[in-house]
Amino acid sequence: MPERKPRKDAARNRAAVLAAADTLFTDCASPDDVTMADIAAAAGVGKGTLFRAFGDRVGLIGALYAARLEPVEEAVETGPPPLGPATPPLQRVPALLDALLCFKLDNRHLALALEGTGSGSPYQAAHYERWHALLRDMLEQLPGLPDSGFAAHALLAAVRADLVEHLAGEERVPREAMRSQLADYTAAFLRAPRDPE
């Protein structure tokens, strides 16, 4: 395949934009008061450059998000328990949800910016489908649970960026409290199946 390597300045600019956007997003109160022009300016670059490199706003945010998310993905795909693939579902499901929660807590504005993108919802983001499939498959291995597809969606909905933001921001729930609440919630759901004693 003729995958031509990009020019050096292009690569440098891309990196600069990514870096600038990153700090801007983490510093700002709401993701949508950081504009494309702001980012371009902060990166010392023209708007055109920015759009050529990432296509559009969603593309840029998506790239940032992907970069931040990469460690988590690696930990899930090839890491040690309890996140790695060798873990039995009963421990891995809560571990995954906890990891996702932590990620959203650590990248509030970014996740918010990505999920709140137009009416698109998070449901057409490439990542979402991956997490959903993974979670669904794990749930499927657990006997006696209801429709795994829906359950996976519902569990993922419990760690949606705006909910997390609301809890952390409005309700001032501290990080560890939120983690344990989520763990309890997950546990309650997973405890369900063994009912016919």
Partner DNA sequence: TCATAAGCGGACCCCGGGTCCGTATTCTAG
Partner DNA sequence: CTAGAATACGGACCCGGGGTCCGCTTATGA
* Binding footprint of DNA on the chain (CB under 7 A): 4, 6-10, 12-13, 32-33, 35-37, 44-49, 51-53, 56-58
Instruction: State the binding partner of 49 from DNA, a copy of itself, none, CB within 5 to 8 A by kind.
Output: DNA
Q: Under the criterion CB under 8 A, does residue 141 sit at the interface with a copy of itself?
A: no
Amino acid, single-letter form, for residue 107: N
- Distance between CA atoms of 40 and 67, rounded to whole angstroms? 19
DSSP 35-55: -HHHHHHHHT--HHHHHHHHS
Contact call for residues 25 and 31 (beta carbons, < 8 A): yes
Residue 182 CB, shortest distance to a copy of itself, in Å, is: 7
Q: Return the structure tokens found at 105.
A: 């807590």
Longest Cα separation, the chain: 67
Instruction: State the binding partner of 160 from DNA, a copy of itself, none, CB within 5 to 8 A by kind.
Output: a copy of itself
- Contact residue for a copy of itself among 14, 43, 116, 125 (CB under 8 A): 116
Residue 62 CB, shortest distance to DNA, in Å, is: 12
Name the phi and psi angles at 38, rounded to 5.
-55, -50
- Distance between CA atoms of 25 and 36, rounded to whole angstroms? 11
Binding mask 156-175 for a copy of itself (x = CB under 8 A): -xx-x-xx-xxx--xx----
**180: helix, strand or coil:** helix
DSSP 150-171: HHHHHHHHTT-HHHHHIIIIIS
- Contact residue for a copy of itself among 119, 126, 143, 196 (CB under 8 A): 119
Instruction: State the binding partner of 6 from a copy of itself, DNA, none, CB within 5 to 8 A by kind.
Output: DNA
Q: How many CA atoms lie within 13 A of 179 on its CB side?
A: 13
Instruction: State the binding partner of 191 from a copy of itself, DNA, none, CB within 5 to 8 A by kind.
Output: a copy of itself
Per rule CB under 8 A, count of chain residues that contact a copy of itself: 43
Residues contributing to the site for a copy of itself (CB under 8 A): 30-32, 112-113, 116, 118-119, 121-124, 145-147, 149-151, 153-154, 157-158, 160, 162-163, 165-167, 170-171, 178, 181-182, 184-185, 187-189, 191-193, 195, 197
